Amino acid sequence: MALQVGDIIPHFVAKDSNGNDFDSNDYVGKQSLVIYFYPKDDTPGCTTQACTFRDQYEDFKEVGAEVIGISSDSVQSHLKFQSKFNLPFILLSDNDKKIRKAFGVSKDYFGLIDGRTTYVVGANGVVQLIFDSTSAKDHIKNALEILKK
């Protein structure tokens, strides 16, 4: 069952691009989160989305939010992607797609490609916005608008 606005995000643990353990409990209760699921590292739409988050990362930090990108790519793939585009935020490897399933992120393009969905989560862990769109740039604008309110 997919998360809805008003739900509390599920607890999750994953490896970041440096191979370190990331635990969502280290963030929930302390700051807002923008968690975005994307299909694949270093593809045109995903690169546009990641670079737009990068370019506006300070705007997210100013409103007290951390940005977290999640895909099924490997830790090594994330490290290359992060280095190539100088991405300052957290990338997590969900290679078994357990986090994607826990959030209820659907597939795009007739079920062929992992979906692109962004969740804005308050410091209390409650989902404030779910934005599901193939348009990569709209995710950033909509997430920032909610966080500024």
Report, as an integer, the average pLDDT of 19-27: 96
Flag whether pLDDT at 134 surpasses 60. Answer: no
Q: What is the pLDDT of residue 116?
A: 83
Flag whether pLDDT at 50 surpasses 90. Answer: yes
Q: What is the pLDDT of residue 148?
A: 74
pLDDT cut 90: percent of the chain above it: 70
Per the model's pLDDT, the better-predicted residue between 106 and 34 turns out to be 34
51 catalytic, yes or no? Answer: no
Give the C-alpha separation, 45 to 52, whole Å: 11
Which one of the listed residues 28, 33, 34, 46 is annotated catalytic?
46
Q: What is the pLDDT of residue 20?
A: 96
Residue-wise pLDDT for 89-129, tens only, equals 999 999 999 999 999 987 665 556 777 899 999 999 999 98
Q: Mapped to the 3 state alphabet, what secondary structure does the chain carry?
A: CCCCCCCECCCCEEEECCCCEEEHHHCCCCCEEEEEECCCCCCHHHHHHHHHHHHCHHHHHHCCEEEEEEECCCHHHHHHHHHHHCCCCEEEECCCCHHHHHHCCCEECCCCEECCEEEEECCCCEEEEEEECCCCCHHHHHHHHHHHC
Q: Worst-scoring range by mean pLDDT, 41-45, 46-50, 68-72, 107-111?
A: 107-111
